Chain A
Protein backbone atom coordinates (compact mmCIF):
# COMPACT_ATOMS: atom_id res chain seq x y z
CA UNK A 1 0.00 0.00 0.00
CA UNK A 2 1.29 3.44 -0.93
CA UNK A 3 0.33 6.55 1.06
CA UNK A 4 2.06 9.91 1.70
CA UNK A 5 3.64 9.83 5.15
CA UNK A 6 3.99 12.39 7.92
CA UNK A 7 7.60 13.48 8.42
CA UNK A 8 9.28 16.29 10.38
CA UNK A 9 9.37 19.71 8.73
CA UNK A 10 12.89 20.27 7.37
CA UNK A 11 14.82 23.00 9.20
CA UNK A 12 16.85 25.33 7.02
CA UNK A 13 19.83 26.92 8.80
CA UNK A 14 22.12 27.94 5.97
CA UNK A 15 21.55 29.56 2.61
CA UNK A 16 22.99 26.49 0.90
CA UNK A 17 20.26 24.31 2.45
CA UNK A 18 17.51 26.15 0.59
CA UNK A 19 16.34 23.83 -2.16
CA UNK A 20 17.17 24.82 -5.71
CA UNK A 21 14.76 24.44 -8.59
CA UNK A 22 11.08 23.76 -8.57
CA UNK A 23 10.86 20.12 -7.59
CA UNK A 24 10.40 18.33 -4.30
CA UNK A 25 9.85 14.84 -2.94
CA UNK A 26 6.47 13.23 -3.66
CA UNK A 27 4.19 12.08 -0.86
CA UNK A 28 5.82 14.15 1.86
CA UNK A 29 3.56 15.58 4.58
CA UNK A 30 4.60 17.92 7.38
CA UNK A 31 1.22 19.07 8.73
CA UNK A 32 -1.76 17.26 10.19
CA UNK A 33 -5.30 18.42 9.41
CA UNK A 34 -6.89 17.34 12.68
CA UNK A 35 -7.07 20.94 13.95
CA UNK A 36 -9.65 21.78 11.28
CA UNK A 37 -12.22 19.51 12.82
CA UNK A 38 -15.32 20.72 14.71
CA UNK A 39 -17.09 17.37 14.62
CA UNK A 40 -15.51 13.98 15.05
CA UNK A 41 -16.85 10.81 13.40
CA UNK A 42 -17.10 7.72 15.62
CA UNK A 43 -17.49 4.24 14.17
CA UNK A 44 -19.59 1.69 16.01
CA UNK A 45 -17.54 -1.38 15.08
CA UNK A 46 -20.27 -3.82 16.16
CA UNK A 47 -22.82 -2.20 13.84
CA UNK A 48 -20.42 -1.80 10.88
CA UNK A 49 -21.11 -4.37 8.14
CA UNK A 50 -18.10 -3.45 6.03
CA UNK A 51 -19.98 -2.11 2.98
CA UNK A 52 -17.13 0.42 2.57
CA UNK A 53 -19.33 3.25 1.28
CA UNK A 54 -17.76 5.67 3.80
CA UNK A 55 -14.32 4.61 2.56
CA UNK A 56 -15.28 5.20 -1.09
CA UNK A 57 -16.81 8.64 -0.52
CA UNK A 58 -14.30 10.18 1.93
CA UNK A 59 -12.77 13.20 0.13
CA UNK A 60 -9.65 12.93 2.27
CA UNK A 61 -9.20 9.18 2.10
CA UNK A 62 -8.86 8.96 5.88
CA UNK A 63 -11.14 5.94 6.25
CA UNK A 64 -9.21 2.70 5.93
CA UNK A 65 -10.36 -0.83 5.30
CA UNK A 66 -9.66 -2.84 8.41
CA UNK A 67 -9.79 -6.60 7.92
CA UNK A 68 -9.91 -8.29 11.33
CA UNK A 69 -10.67 -11.67 12.86
CA UNK A 70 -13.73 -11.95 15.11
CA UNK A 71 -14.52 -15.41 16.56
CA UNK A 72 -12.35 -17.08 13.95
CA UNK A 73 -14.11 -15.29 11.05
CA UNK A 74 -12.43 -12.71 8.83
CA UNK A 75 -14.58 -9.57 8.65
CA UNK A 76 -14.16 -6.17 7.02
CA UNK A 77 -14.56 -3.08 9.21
CA UNK A 78 -13.36 0.50 8.85
CA UNK A 79 -11.18 2.73 10.94
CA UNK A 80 -10.44 6.45 10.76
CA UNK A 81 -7.12 8.29 10.63
CA UNK A 82 -7.89 11.14 13.06
CA UNK A 83 -4.66 12.94 12.14
CA UNK A 84 -6.14 13.90 8.77
CA UNK A 85 -9.92 13.75 9.22
CA UNK A 86 -11.49 17.21 8.76
CA UNK A 87 -14.88 16.19 10.17
CA UNK A 88 -16.94 16.98 7.05
CA UNK A 89 -19.57 14.39 7.98
CA UNK A 90 -19.95 12.73 4.56
CA UNK A 91 -19.22 9.31 6.09
CA UNK A 92 -22.11 9.67 8.52
CA UNK A 93 -24.48 10.47 5.62
CA UNK A 94 -23.15 7.59 3.51
CA UNK A 95 -23.58 5.01 6.26
CA UNK A 96 -26.97 3.43 5.57
CA UNK A 97 -27.07 1.52 8.85
CA UNK A 98 -26.10 4.37 11.18
CA UNK A 99 -22.80 2.91 12.36
CA UNK A 100 -21.08 6.30 12.14
CA UNK A 101 -22.11 9.22 14.31
CA UNK A 102 -20.62 12.70 14.54
CA UNK A 103 -19.52 13.84 17.98
CA UNK A 104 -19.96 17.60 18.39
CA UNK A 105 -16.45 18.42 19.48
CA UNK A 106 -12.95 18.58 18.15
CA UNK A 107 -9.98 16.83 19.67
Chain B
Protein backbone atom coordinates (compact mmCIF):
# COMPACT_ATOMS: atom_id res chain seq x y z
CA UNK B 1 0.00 0.00 0.00
CA UNK B 2 1.34 3.39 -0.99
CA UNK B 3 1.68 6.48 1.21
CA UNK B 4 -1.35 8.17 2.71
CA UNK B 5 -2.65 11.31 1.06
CA UNK B 6 -2.39 14.52 3.06
CA UNK B 7 -2.52 18.28 2.45
CA UNK B 8 1.15 18.35 1.37
CA UNK B 9 1.15 15.56 -1.18
CA UNK B 10 -2.34 15.86 -2.71
CA UNK B 11 -2.33 17.06 -6.34
CA UNK B 12 -2.17 20.85 -6.88
CA UNK B 13 -4.54 20.60 -9.83
CA UNK B 14 -8.14 21.71 -9.47
CA UNK B 15 -10.53 19.69 -11.62
CA UNK B 16 -13.70 21.23 -10.18
CA UNK B 17 -13.32 25.00 -10.23
CA UNK B 18 -15.47 28.08 -10.75
CA UNK B 19 -18.68 26.12 -10.16
CA UNK B 20 -21.92 27.75 -9.03
CA UNK B 21 -22.56 25.78 -5.83
CA UNK B 22 -23.75 27.80 -2.82
CA UNK B 23 -21.00 29.20 -0.61
CA UNK B 24 -19.88 26.58 1.90
CA UNK B 25 -21.28 23.61 -0.07
CA UNK B 26 -20.18 20.28 1.42
CA UNK B 27 -20.98 18.32 -1.76
CA UNK B 28 -18.67 20.42 -3.90
CA UNK B 29 -15.86 19.88 -1.38
CA UNK B 30 -16.30 16.10 -1.70
CA UNK B 31 -16.29 16.28 -5.53
CA UNK B 32 -13.24 18.54 -5.58
CA UNK B 33 -11.18 16.29 -3.29
CA UNK B 34 -12.26 13.07 -5.06
CA UNK B 35 -11.11 14.48 -8.42
CA UNK B 36 -7.83 15.75 -6.97
CA UNK B 37 -7.13 12.20 -5.81
CA UNK B 38 -8.17 10.47 -9.03
CA UNK B 39 -6.70 12.95 -11.51
CA UNK B 40 -7.36 14.09 -15.05
CA UNK B 41 -7.97 10.67 -16.57
CA UNK B 42 -11.26 10.26 -14.76
CA UNK B 43 -14.48 9.67 -16.66
CA UNK B 44 -17.14 11.24 -14.49
CA UNK B 45 -20.87 10.57 -14.47
CA UNK B 46 -23.23 12.95 -12.71
CA UNK B 47 -26.99 12.50 -12.65
CA UNK B 48 -29.44 15.36 -12.29
CA UNK B 49 -28.65 16.97 -8.96
CA UNK B 50 -26.77 19.83 -7.38
CA UNK B 51 -23.35 18.91 -8.69
CA UNK B 52 -24.45 18.72 -12.33
CA UNK B 53 -26.61 21.84 -12.01
CA UNK B 54 -23.71 23.92 -10.68
CA UNK B 55 -21.04 22.77 -13.09
CA UNK B 56 -22.52 22.41 -16.57
CA UNK B 57 -23.81 25.91 -17.39
CA UNK B 58 -23.24 26.24 -21.12
CA UNK B 59 -20.83 27.54 -22.32
CA UNK B 60 -19.24 27.26 -18.90
CA UNK B 61 -17.86 23.85 -17.86
CA UNK B 62 -16.36 23.66 -14.40
CA UNK B 63 -14.84 20.19 -14.78
CA UNK B 64 -11.33 19.92 -16.20
CA UNK B 65 -11.81 16.19 -16.85
CA UNK B 66 -14.34 14.36 -19.02
CA UNK B 67 -17.79 14.50 -17.50
CA UNK B 68 -21.30 13.56 -18.59
CA UNK B 69 -24.79 14.11 -17.16
CA UNK B 70 -26.89 10.95 -16.95
CA UNK B 71 -30.59 10.40 -16.38
CA UNK B 72 -31.42 10.62 -12.68
CA UNK B 73 -31.86 6.89 -12.24
CA UNK B 74 -29.03 5.88 -14.55
CA UNK B 75 -25.75 6.98 -12.93
CA UNK B 76 -24.45 3.46 -12.38
CA UNK B 77 -25.74 2.18 -15.73
CA UNK B 78 -23.87 4.97 -17.56
CA UNK B 79 -20.76 4.10 -15.55
CA UNK B 80 -20.92 0.57 -16.94
CA UNK B 81 -21.36 2.04 -20.43
CA UNK B 82 -18.28 4.25 -20.02
CA UNK B 83 -16.27 1.33 -18.67
CA UNK B 84 -17.21 -0.89 -21.63
CA UNK B 85 -16.59 1.97 -24.07
CA UNK B 86 -13.17 2.69 -22.59
CA UNK B 87 -12.25 -0.99 -22.80
CA UNK B 88 -13.39 -1.15 -26.42
CA UNK B 89 -11.22 1.90 -27.23
CA UNK B 90 -8.25 0.27 -25.52
CA UNK B 91 -7.82 3.08 -22.96
CA UNK B 92 -5.27 2.48 -20.23
CA UNK B 93 -4.75 4.12 -16.86
CA UNK B 94 -8.12 5.74 -16.23
CA UNK B 95 -10.89 5.71 -13.63
CA UNK B 96 -14.65 5.56 -14.06
CA UNK B 97 -16.32 7.63 -11.35
CA UNK B 98 -19.97 8.27 -10.60
CA UNK B 99 -21.01 10.94 -8.11
CA UNK B 100 -24.66 11.17 -7.13
CA UNK B 101 -26.53 12.71 -4.24
CA UNK B 102 -28.44 10.89 -1.55
CA UNK B 103 -31.72 10.91 -3.48
CA UNK B 104 -30.02 9.88 -6.70
CA UNK B 105 -28.39 6.96 -4.89
CA UNK B 106 -30.64 5.68 -2.10
CA UNK B 107 -33.99 6.28 -3.86
CA UNK B 108 -33.94 6.89 -7.59
CA UNK B 109 -30.66 5.27 -8.62
CA UNK B 110 -30.58 2.28 -6.28
CA UNK B 111 -31.47 -0.38 -8.84
CA UNK B 112 -28.79 0.83 -11.26
CA UNK B 113 -26.27 0.89 -8.39
CA UNK B 114 -27.30 -2.63 -7.37
CA UNK B 115 -26.79 -3.75 -10.98
CA UNK B 116 -23.35 -2.14 -11.14
CA UNK B 117 -22.22 -3.96 -7.99
CA UNK B 118 -23.74 -7.20 -9.28
CA UNK B 119 -21.73 -6.88 -12.55
CA UNK B 120 -18.69 -5.90 -10.45
CA UNK B 121 -17.48 -3.41 -13.06
CA UNK B 122 -14.24 -1.69 -12.10
CA UNK B 123 -15.68 1.71 -11.15
CA UNK B 124 -16.03 4.01 -8.15
CA UNK B 125 -19.43 5.22 -7.00
CA UNK B 126 -19.54 8.13 -4.55
CA UNK B 127 -22.77 9.16 -2.85
CA UNK B 128 -22.52 12.66 -1.38
CA UNK B 129 -25.18 12.75 1.25
CA UNK B 130 -26.69 16.11 2.18
CA UNK B 131 -29.75 14.37 3.61
CA UNK B 132 -32.47 15.65 1.23
CA UNK B 133 -33.14 16.59 -2.39
CA UNK B 134 -31.43 19.96 -2.01
CA UNK B 135 -31.21 20.92 -5.68
CA UNK B 136 -34.97 21.04 -6.15
CA UNK B 137 -35.59 22.89 -2.90
CA UNK B 138 -35.18 20.49 0.05
CA UNK B 139 -37.52 17.52 -0.32
CA UNK B 140 -37.23 14.41 1.85
CA UNK B 141 -35.08 11.56 0.52
CA UNK B 142 -34.46 8.07 1.86
CA UNK B 143 -31.41 9.41 3.66
CA UNK B 144 -33.14 12.29 5.46
CA UNK B 145 -32.78 11.65 9.21
CA UNK B 146 -35.62 11.42 11.71
CA UNK B 147 -37.05 14.77 12.75
CA UNK B 148 -35.71 16.92 9.91
CA UNK B 149 -38.13 19.37 8.39
CA UNK B 150 -38.21 19.46 4.59
CA UNK B 151 -40.75 20.89 2.17
CA UNK B 152 -42.40 17.47 1.86
CA UNK B 153 -42.15 16.65 5.58
CA UNK B 154 -42.89 20.05 7.13
CA UNK B 155 -42.87 20.32 10.88
CA UNK B 156 -46.18 21.39 12.38
CA UNK B 157 -47.93 21.25 15.73
CA UNK B 158 -48.65 17.49 15.44
CA UNK B 159 -46.10 16.09 12.99
CA UNK B 160 -42.45 16.74 13.76
CA UNK B 161 -40.83 16.71 10.36
CA UNK B 162 -39.59 13.45 8.87
CA UNK B 163 -40.97 10.45 10.75
CA UNK B 164 -38.74 7.79 9.20
CA UNK B 165 -35.12 6.99 10.08
CA UNK B 166 -32.24 7.27 7.62
CA UNK B 167 -31.89 4.29 5.28
CA UNK B 168 -28.88 2.15 6.07
CA UNK B 169 -27.32 2.56 2.64
CA UNK B 170 -23.79 1.48 3.59
CA UNK B 171 -24.95 -1.91 4.84
CA UNK B 172 -27.38 -2.33 1.91
CA UNK B 173 -24.42 -1.89 -0.44
CA UNK B 174 -22.18 -4.14 1.65
CA UNK B 175 -24.85 -6.85 1.60
CA UNK B 176 -24.09 -7.25 -2.13
CA UNK B 177 -20.64 -8.54 -1.16
CA UNK B 178 -19.02 -5.51 -2.85
CA UNK B 179 -15.17 -5.55 -2.95
CA UNK B 180 -14.89 -2.19 -1.17
CA UNK B 181 -17.40 0.11 0.54
CA UNK B 182 -16.81 2.93 2.99
CA UNK B 183 -18.51 5.75 4.85
CA UNK B 184 -16.83 9.13 5.23
CA UNK B 185 -17.53 12.73 6.15
CA UNK B 186 -16.25 15.97 4.61
CA UNK B 187 -15.38 16.96 8.18
CA UNK B 188 -12.54 14.41 8.05
CA UNK B 189 -11.33 15.14 4.56
CA UNK B 190 -8.01 13.28 4.69
CA UNK B 191 -9.85 10.12 5.71
CA UNK B 192 -12.20 10.63 2.74
CA UNK B 193 -9.31 11.30 0.30
CA UNK B 194 -7.58 8.10 1.39
CA UNK B 195 -10.77 6.11 1.01
CA UNK B 196 -11.12 7.42 -2.56
CA UNK B 197 -7.52 6.37 -3.22
CA UNK B 198 -8.13 2.94 -1.77
CA UNK B 199 -11.31 2.61 -3.86
CA UNK B 200 -9.28 3.41 -6.99
CA UNK B 201 -6.81 0.62 -6.19
CA UNK B 202 -9.53 -2.00 -5.69
CA UNK B 203 -10.40 -4.26 -8.60
CA UNK B 204 -14.15 -4.28 -9.10
CA UNK B 205 -16.83 -1.91 -7.87
CA UNK B 206 -16.22 0.33 -4.90
CA UNK B 207 -18.65 2.59 -3.10
CA UNK B 208 -18.15 5.55 -0.77
CA UNK B 209 -20.95 7.20 1.17
CA UNK B 210 -19.71 10.64 2.19
CA UNK B 211 -21.72 12.93 4.47
CA UNK B 212 -21.70 16.44 3.00
CA UNK B 213 -23.69 19.10 4.87
CA UNK B 214 -25.75 21.64 2.94
CA UNK B 215 -25.80 25.02 4.76
CA UNK B 216 -28.91 26.07 2.82
CA UNK B 217 -30.94 22.96 3.59
CA UNK B 218 -29.71 22.35 7.12
CA UNK B 219 -30.04 25.96 8.20
CA UNK B 220 -26.49 26.66 9.37
CA UNK B 221 -24.02 29.39 8.48
CA UNK B 222 -21.91 28.78 5.36
CA UNK B 223 -18.75 28.72 7.48
CA UNK B 224 -20.04 25.84 9.64
CA UNK B 225 -20.15 23.09 6.99
CA UNK B 226 -16.92 21.38 8.00
CA UNK B 227 -17.45 21.94 11.69
CA UNK B 228 -20.88 20.30 11.63
CA UNK B 229 -19.63 17.44 9.44
CA UNK B 230 -17.09 16.74 12.19
CA UNK B 231 -19.61 17.10 14.98
CA UNK B 232 -21.98 14.51 13.47
CA UNK B 233 -19.13 11.97 13.53
CA UNK B 234 -17.93 12.99 17.00
CA UNK B 235 -21.42 12.61 18.48
CA UNK B 236 -21.84 9.16 16.93
CA UNK B 237 -24.81 10.12 14.74
CA UNK B 238 -22.68 9.16 11.74
CA UNK B 239 -19.78 6.75 11.66
CA UNK B 240 -16.63 6.20 9.64
CA UNK B 241 -16.32 2.59 8.56
CA UNK B 242 -15.13 0.36 5.76
CA UNK B 243 -16.20 -2.98 4.33
CA UNK B 244 -13.74 -5.22 2.50
CA UNK B 245 -12.92 -8.93 2.29
CA UNK B 246 -16.43 -9.64 3.52
CA UNK B 247 -15.94 -7.84 6.84
CA UNK B 248 -16.86 -4.52 8.42
CA UNK B 249 -14.17 -2.34 9.97
CA UNK B 250 -14.81 0.69 12.18
CA UNK B 251 -12.34 3.57 11.66
CA UNK B 252 -13.11 5.91 14.51
CA UNK B 253 -14.76 5.84 17.93
CA UNK B 254 -16.99 8.88 18.64
CA UNK B 255 -15.40 11.40 20.99
CA UNK B 256 -18.30 13.47 22.27
CA UNK B 257 -21.33 11.24 22.73
CA UNK B 258 -23.10 13.80 24.92
CA UNK B 259 -22.96 16.49 22.23
CA UNK B 260 -26.12 15.41 20.34
CA UNK B 261 -28.28 18.19 21.72
CA UNK B 262 -25.75 20.86 20.60
CA UNK B 263 -25.55 19.27 17.15
CA UNK B 264 -29.36 19.23 16.79
CA UNK B 265 -30.08 22.68 18.20
CA UNK B 266 -27.65 24.54 15.96
CA UNK B 267 -29.59 23.53 12.82
CA UNK B 268 -32.77 25.22 11.64
CA UNK B 269 -34.15 21.98 10.19
CA UNK B 270 -34.33 20.49 13.73
CA UNK B 271 -35.45 23.65 15.51
CA UNK B 272 -38.93 22.29 16.38
CA UNK B 273 -37.61 19.18 18.17
CA UNK B 274 -38.26 18.88 21.91
CA UNK B 275 -35.86 17.34 24.43
CA UNK B 276 -37.95 14.17 24.24
CA UNK B 277 -37.42 14.00 20.47
CA UNK B 278 -33.68 14.45 20.99
CA UNK B 279 -33.77 11.56 23.46
CA UNK B 280 -35.44 9.44 20.76
CA UNK B 281 -32.57 10.34 18.41
CA UNK B 282 -30.04 9.40 21.10
CA UNK B 283 -31.78 6.05 21.72
CA UNK B 284 -31.71 5.25 17.99
CA UNK B 285 -28.03 6.20 17.86
CA UNK B 286 -27.24 3.89 20.78
CA UNK B 287 -29.06 1.02 19.05
CA UNK B 288 -27.00 1.62 15.90
CA UNK B 289 -23.80 1.59 17.94
CA UNK B 290 -24.79 -1.64 19.68
CA UNK B 291 -24.97 -3.19 16.22
CA UNK B 292 -21.86 -1.66 14.69
CA UNK B 293 -19.72 -2.14 17.81
CA UNK B 294 -19.37 -5.69 16.52
CA UNK B 295 -17.40 -4.34 13.53
CA UNK B 296 -13.66 -4.98 13.87
CA UNK B 297 -11.04 -2.25 13.60
A residues at B contact (CB < 8 Å): 1-4, 6, 9-10, 19, 24-33, 36-37, 51-53, 55-61, 64-65, 84, 86-90, 92-94
Contact flag A60-B64 (CB < 8 Å), given A28-B59, A90-B24, A93-B223 = no
In Å, the complex CA distance between A10 and B60 comes to 10
B53 CB within 8 Å of chain A: no
Contact flag A90-B17 (CB < 8 Å), given A24-B61, A26-B63, A26-B66 = no
A36: which B residues are within 8 A, CB to CB?
A: 23
Asked if residues B29 and A24 are in contact (CB atoms below 8 Å), the reply is: no
B278: which A residues are within 8 A, CB to CB?
A: none
B25 CB within 8 Å of chain A: yes
Asked if residues B61 and A25 are in contact (CB atoms below 8 Å), the reply is: yes
Asked if residues A89 and B222 are in contact (CB atoms below 8 Å), the reply is: yes
In Å, the complex CA distance between A79 and B287 comes to 46
- Identify the closest chain A residue to B39 (Cβ): A2
In Å, the complex CA distance between A1 and B14 comes to 8
- Identify the closest chain B residue to A31 (Cβ): B60
In Å, the complex CA distance between A84 and B23 comes to 11
B18 CB within 8 Å of chain A: yes
Which residue among B17, B18, B57, B190 has the maximum number of chain A CB atoms within 10 Å of its CB?
Answer: B18
Asked if residues B14 and A56 are in contact (CB atoms below 8 Å), the reply is: no
B20: which A residues are within 8 A, CB to CB?
A: 33
Q: How many A-B residue pairs have CB under 8 A?
A: 122
In Å, the complex CA distance between A52 and B8 comes to 7
Q: Among the listed B21, B62, B190, B224, which residue makes an inter-chain contact with A59, where contact means beta carbons less than 8 Å apart?
A: B21
Given A19-B59, A56-B189, 5 additional A-B pairs, CB 8 A: A29-B61, A59-B32, A89-B221, A90-B223, A93-B226
B89 CB within 8 Å of chain A: no
Q: How far is the CB of B86 from chain A (nearest CB, A)?
A: 16
Asked if residues B28 and A59 are in contact (CB atoms below 8 Å), the reply is: yes
Q: How far is the CB of A68 from chain B (nearest CB, A)?
A: 15
B60: which A residues are within 8 A, CB to CB?
A: 28-31
Asked if residues A56 and B190 are in contact (CB atoms below 8 Å), the reply is: yes
B227: which A residues are within 8 A, CB to CB?
A: 93
